[in-house]
Chains A and B, each alone.
Chain A
């Protein structure tokens, strides 16, 4: 018979053992491991990187995920508490880490914005394919917004006050006007006709087709002829006038230099001169955005003043009042002054000859 003292020792020993073994049991279902620090995502992606195994809902695109900063910290950083005993056999919904634990500043900014309470981070961002602001295209940003904001409704509401509303909505990321971002740059995307030949809509060209066009070399080599990772105006002009690239165009989008989550409706954006007025050093900075195989864009610096050049650097990017060319301004002034030659020159001689003409009119000669 076990004495009360022995019962107490057994109880404490079992309790201690269970406590020590609990974390191991929780994080390691049968045949399952999160992997070590070097392979934090490997085991998870064995299943979640294949839609056949987990279904489309729990599928994580490995190519897009591995590129994210989230992949660097690994699945357990966010899902540590989510993997229950018996996973993956036990298919229990995972409780995710709150984004605010890491993104404190953004969360604070967002909480004060007009979006606060309307949707969470996941409403716009997929953490498994999150891109940095520099890596995402303007049209991809707008696709995120279009998840809630119906394109036609938005176009119609803007058209009530904004000339060429459809153009503005197509050519500007929403955040350019609807966040308190400061400093703007021009991102130039290579577009071509998608879908039906000769009839399809112009959209940013994909990585694979540009890679094919580059003959297997890097896409950047289509423009960066000397391979110095910098686009000069000469290279830009050469790209735009190369007959081999007649189907390709450069589409410019004015985007904030740094992204902000302070979503709001700003009255000063209703003043067109916020964008459509030139100033010292306006629109000097631009980048070519090269599509990568993981769905992101790599931005390559372009020589200063590309969008301000008269014609060949960016033939299809023009912002009225903003990117006017200074040489053309002078030519225009000369033409106008030419129109004054007759009134001023002839008028002066007319004034000097007034007595002669008056005598003639009065029949003195």
Chain B
């Protein structure tokens, strides 16, 4: 058996950001369901309540996204290292990681990626988070801000192609984020114990080996 070494992987601001986001995104998903399908879902009592919670959670998540962007790109200056796959990741790392998750994992083989504070995501995660943090989150946040302020921002809405295009983008980006949420939560259970990664996001400390998520 190998010796377990603890790594301080998630600094406090990131953990606060993560759980704030988690609460916000779950609220957004549930309220979003009620807002789009009010005849089938009445989770928050009234439609108005769903709108108000959705708006509040949207503002928090959009603000939190801005903080995240600022923290990584301005303070930590390692946004690229953590979230953008490099040449090696694309050429070999991605395939290796897919092969691990969908084949080697079932035979108990070790994860080819070992997380470090500066390189904590495997190539698959990098690709996924790149799409999420640089495409889906900006799209869902910006369209949400416009949809939340239709009257004052009407000029921008018309310039962007109209309300319906914004709604489509907002809705499809939200569905994509919702779909990712299922995968994300599942992948957190692939640590050396099902709750290992979740605990790491609470305490900040992660066991170095057997890193899957």
CB within 8 Å of B: which residues of A? Answer: 161, 163-164, 166-167, 170, 202, 249, 271-273, 276-279, 310-311, 314-318, 320-321, 324, 328-329, 331-333, 335-340, 342-343, 346-347, 349-350, 352-353, 356-361, 363, 365
Contact = CB atoms under 8 A, between A and B. Distances in A.
B186 A164 contact: no
A328 B164 CA distance: 11
A321 B35 CA distance: 6
A156 to B, nearest CB: 14
A343 B178 CA distance: 13
B176 A335 contact: yes
Nearest to B42: A273
A41 B151 CA distance: 45
Given A278-B39, A357-B107, A360-B108, 13 more contacts: A249-B158, A277-B47, A310-B164, A311-B162, A320-B167, A321-B36, A324-B36, A324-B37, A336-B178, A346-B186, A353-B106, A357-B105, A360-B109
A329 to B, nearest CB: 8
A139 to B, nearest CB: 14
A325 B1 CA distance: 57
Interface stretch (B10-18, B48-56, B65-73, B86-94): B48-56
A315 B55 CA distance: 23
A278 B47 CA distance: 13
B48 A272 contact: yes
Nearest to B147: A320
Interface string B126-168: 0000000000000000000000111110100110011111011
A347 B187 CA distance: 10
Given A161-B48, A202-B158, A346-B102, A315 B163 contact: yes
Nearest to A321: B38
Interface residues of B, number: 47
A328 B37 CA distance: 13
Nearest to B185: A343
B101 interface: yes
Contacts of B52: 163
A328 B109 CA distance: 41
B61 to A, nearest CB: 18
B161 A315 contact: yes
Interface of B: 1, 35-39, 46-48, 51-52, 55, 101-102, 105-109, 148-152, 154, 157-158, 161-165, 167-168, 171-172, 175-176, 178-183, 185-187
Closest 9 CB pairs of A and B: A339-B179, A360-B108, A315-B162, A353-B106, A343-B186, A272-B47, A316-B162, A357-B108, A339-B182
B180 A339 contact: yes
Contacts of A365: 108
B37 A318 contact: no
Given A249-B158, A335-B176, A349 B164 contact: no
Nearest to B152: A166
A263 B62 CA distance: 42
Nearest to A198: B155
Given A338-B179, A350-B106, A272 B172 contact: no
A359 B108 contact: yes
A167 B36 contact: no
A315 B151 CA distance: 16
Contacts of B186: 342-343, 346-347
B62 to A, nearest CB: 17
Given A161-B48, A202-B158, A342-B182, A332 B163 contact: no
Nearest to A355: B108
B47 A276 contact: yes
A336 B175 contact: yes
Contacts of A271: 46-47
B47 A317 contact: no
Contacts of B107: 353, 356-357, 360
Given A163-B48, A342-B182, A328 B168 contact: yes
A332 B171 contact: yes
Contacts of A350: 105-106
27 contacts: A161-B48, A163-B48, A164-B151, A167-B150, A202-B158, A272-B48, A276-B38, A277-B39, A310-B164, A311-B162, A315-B164, A317-B164, A321-B47, A331-B175, A332-B172, A332-B175, A333-B175, A336-B179, A337-B179, A338-B179, A342-B182, A342-B186, A346-B102, A346-B186, A347-B186, A356-B108, A365-B108
Contact of A328 (B46, B172, B183, B187): B172
